[in-house]
Amino acid sequence: MSDVPRLTATECGVLGLLSLGEASGYDLMKLADRSVGLIWRPVKSQLYALLPRFVELGLAERQRVRQETRPDKVVYRLTDAGREALRTSLLELEAEGRAAYAIFNFKVFFGEIVGPEHVRETIEARRRQVVERQAELLRIRRGADPEEDFFPLLTLELALDELRAYVRWANRTLARLDAKSPADGTGGRARRR
Amino acid sequence: MSDVPRLTATECGVLGLLSLGEASGYDLMKLADRSVGLIWRPVKSQLYALLPRFVELGLAERQRVRQETRPDKVVYRLTDAGREALRTSLLELEAEGRAAYAIFNFKVFFGEIVGPEHVRETIEARRRQVVERQAELLRIRRGADPEEDFFPLLTLELALDELRAYVRWANRTLARLDAKSPADGTGGRARRR
DNA sequence: CTGAGCATGTAATCGGTTACATGATTCC
DNA sequence: GGAATCATGTAACCGATTACATGCTCAG
């Protein structure tokens, strides 16, 4: 009943695709190209393995569609439980470890589902992580030898440039979110303390 | 004999760490923090699983070191075959698919091993990929609805900013490499055609 | 007639993560 | 006395990738 299954990042991705409208496995592969594909795309065999499991968990419904000129297809549609599982899973997923970046991007991409306030918090949380990391990299750079560590320093500088790009984007985007959501003096609705 | 084993990205990472000097598994974990750790870090259990396999493949040698006040440790050292396998594997690994970014970074990080000309080519190849991707994202952006696709467009813009950061870094870095390696009119030593 | 697109899946393998397991020493 | 550091590994699981397998239709 109330024990909503927790989904992995990949499952969120597939369920997120499905949240855009009913589709067959084949449709979802193509849909991915035009949407989340920017940041992540499922592998066919995994997709086809996942879909029946969603049905078993009650997160999706399945319907066989006969076609005469084309092979029959199986069309899936999210249930309310599926939509809810997607929302809570996205909210609960921590953007940490190796999958951090993919999860971060999912949360923003599916901002309509998690809500603007969660998007804002997600962006701020990552900005904090990024600022810390910048400090760490700068510390390392100070201790490095420009001759001996020439190549490692190149990767370090690329990392720094990309982190800077993130911070700029985050600042711009947070401002846009502020402008978009009704200004209430605190910067957002779910603010407390 | 001449059939050098091909290593995966992770194996290159571990072997690359080992190329910095002989070390025990425990040492390598710490070494990773101060070196490649920027871009990638091995998982302990995997590291300990890999090291004996390197010995079996003749890529490393092992020596038990007895210590009185601390637990005994097993120290590994790269063999010539190991160094060669690392070099050719890094050269042959294609920076494509999911691991593309990690592989790209490995190639640059271990530039001393693969040589400046390969680094240059790697950076140029990625720049080509990135420019293509920028064009694709711009096309998608043109076709998107700023209202309806608000959140997806945020991730798209972040991606664009990061790609731009890469291109700038690549331009700067290629210039530095040109300045560094003797100018011979063609831009690098291994140039033909 | 060949190749691309539509359409769905299974099987095998492998790489990565987490948890389990142990035990001494040294610093606070 | 308790936490952190040194030190090495195993076991189980799971997620992801690759290869295998099939077969119809339509456009060039």
DSSP string, A176-188: HHHHHSPP-SSSS
Partners of A74 in beta bridges:
A64
D17 C1' to B173 CA distance, Å:
34
Nearest CA in chain B to A98: B40
> Cβ distance B156 to A38 under 8 Å?
yes
pLDDT at B189 over 90: no
Nearest-neighbour CA in chain A from B48: distance (Å): 20
For chain B, say whether A140 makes contact (Cβ under 8 Å): yes
Nucleotides of C under 7 A from a protein CB: 6-12, 14-19, 23-26
Q: Give the model's pLDDT for residue B172.
A: 98
What DSSP letter does each residue of B14-73 carry, written as one string? Answer: HHHHHTTS-EEHHHHHHHHHHTGGGT----HHHHHHHHHHHHHTTSEEEEEE--SSS--E
Q: What is the mean pLDDT of residues B101-125?
A: 95
Burial B132-169 (b: 16+ CB within 10 A, else e): eebeebeebeeeeeeeebbbbbbbbbbbbbbbebbeeb
3-state secondary structure of B80: helix
Decide which of B102 and B182 is more confident: B102
Q: Give the model's pLDDT for residue A2.
A: 46
Does A98 contact strand C, using a CB cutoff of 7 Å?
Answer: yes
pLDDT at B140 over 80: yes
Nucleotides of D under 7 A from a protein CB: 6-12, 14-19, 23-26
Chain B, 56-95: which CBs lie within 7 Å of strand D? 67, 70-75
Give per-10-residue mean pLDDT for chain A (193 aa): 76 95 95 86 95 95 91 95 95 87 95 96 96 91 94 96 98 95 55 47
And the tokens for A98?
């190796």
Q: Give the model's pLDDT for residue B94.
A: 86
Q: Give the model's pLDDT for residue A3.
A: 63
For chain A, say whether B38 makes contact (Cβ under 8 Å): yes
Q: Give the model's pLDDT for residue B13.
A: 95
> Cβ distance A41 to A134 under 8 Å?
no
A156 closest CA partner among A137, A136, A132: A137
Q: Is the pTM of this model over 0.75?
A: yes
Q: Give the model's pLDDT for residue A104.
A: 96
Dihedral, B183, B186, B187, B190 alpha carbons, nearest 10: -100
**pLDDT, tens digit, 9 for 90 and up, residues B17-41:** 999 999 999 999 999 988 888 888 8
Decide which of B58 and A99 is more confident: B58
